[in-house]
Amino acid sequence: MVQGTASNVGKSILVTALCRIFKNDGFTVAPFKAQNMSLNSFVTPDGGEIGRAQAVQAEAAGIAPTVDMNPILLKPEANSRSQVVVRGHPQQSTGAAAYYQLKSQLWPVVTQALDTLRSQYQIVVIEGAGSPAEINLTKDEIVNMRVARYCQAPVLLVGDIDRGGVFASLLGTLGLLNPEDLALVKALVINKFRGDPALFEPGIRFIEEKANLPVAGVIPYFNDISIAQEDSVALEQSASQPTSFQVDIAVIRLPHISNFDDFDPLAKENGIRVRYVNFNKNLEHPDLIILPGSKTTVADLDWLSESGLADGITELYQHGSFVIGVCGGYQMLGRFIDDPEQVESAVLRRPGLGLLPITTTFLPTKETHQVKGEVVSCRGLLAKTRGIRFKGYEIHMGRTESDEEGTAFRLKERSGEPCDVSDGYLDSSGRVLGTYIHGLFRDKKLRRAILSQIAQSKGQRLNFKDNRREDEYDKLADLVSNSLNMELIYTIAGLSKGS
């Protein structure tokens, strides 16, 4: 089990690396996180919704994601509430106090899911959440030491040296654990180290002596390995923007932004700048504006108006900018959002930005599907894309309709079943596109066709480069395995290579 001294110290990325390392060493391995709080989610092949991080970890392990890997997902909403997703399906929306009362009912869900994975795989790499030393949460927690105690998992405790105070955070965390839990911690890991590790040797000796535990390794800080991130805090730590670019893309950083990794593939292309904007004054004059997914569409739409970004987006569209909305962003682009059953808020009808002739009606049933489809439009943004087939996934609680023809995509398969369903809308100008499909930009042909069309509208031509790089998960695995004492890790786990 990988636990940390705080959130965002690198637990998820270390679990991802260990999953690939164990896979490469010949083991069957699966990730597990009992309870995840995230707006970045993914859909399993059977239509269940789990945290995006566990889907990434499963991919690193070379297996399909399942709801057992993340049996409880909390998706924050407005007014300090969260949607509780249990085994892939929404159960209720609740505040913090009510959720704590619910935890006793959820513990059997956690243990059943973990037992299932343990029966199917040789190794299960478990990820904790936040810190195990949050004393006010210890009594009712179901994601950290209680999980470790349940299966007697050896624990690696991770500290982030880049944020400072790593000695205090590691030793302080250990000092706050009760003896039973402390006995489960078998080694420490220092993450995000900058500089020469040899100069840190005195620090390693100090902490090993004080903690009476070995330091399993010092993992260097890196920003050249592309692994999807789960927490939106990663947007604040993104790599520096290119100084030379041909297409400028502004992604609106909504307060409840979800599935922002949809746009990672755009940033990897040569000549493309992708930046996240949450102030109207920073919007500047982008070639493309993207409204991303949102867990709380109406509240984020209100924020757009209050911040001035709604007017800014409309004005830029009128002056030639392209606009794409995905999921919640697609809903915002329409004329109205109706909520007759008050699924999301008490607002029965909310005007949208009016850039698409669509109306969305919120429904109590959430649509979660992996999908396959094709492009059916052939103008504007999609002029170079007709007939391209793609894969992606849907996560939404609304039905969007229009009395005008403008269908962008046609879905041919949903959750493994054949279908013939329209999705998305492209306006008559060809400059505003909306869709419910996450993951569209992961299709290289579709992504590059759209980017080329935007560049062409400026009289420019993009020079795409295909770098034959090694698998990103293997790059991560090599970095981490060379930084950790893997012999110690295997000893702690009671395993050996080839066993």
**Are the beta carbons of 379 and 419 closer than 8 angstroms?**
no
CB atoms within 10 A of CB 299: 20
With beta carbons less than 8 A apart as the criterion, state whether 273 and 249 touch: yes
For residues 3 and 127, what is the distance between their CA atoms, to the nearest angstrom?
Answer: 6
Residue 242 carries which DSSP code?
P
Hey, what amino acid is at 323?
Answer: V
User: Which tokens sit at 169?
Assistant: 């955070």
d(CA 413, CA 237): 37
Q: Which of 3, 4, 1 is nearest to 163 (CA)?
A: 4
Phi, psi of 465, deg, nearest 5: -120, 130
Close Cβ partners of 494 (under 8 Å, ≥ 6 residues apart):
none
Q: Catalytic positions, please?
A: 327, 438
Containing 401, the helix (H) or strand (E) segment is strand 389-401
Q: How far apart are CA 443 and CA 430, in angstroms?
A: 20
Answer whether 376's CB lies under 8 Å from 421's CB.
no
The Cα–Cα gap between 494 and 431 comes to 58
Contacting residues for 255 by C-beta, under 8 A, at least 6 apart: 296, 299, 300, 303
Inter-CA distances, 307 with 276, 278, 303, 310, Å: 15, 8, 6, 8
Residue among 222, 226, 234 nearest 471 (CA): 226
- The amino acid sitting at 466 is D
Please state the separation of Cα 294 from the chain's center in Å: 12
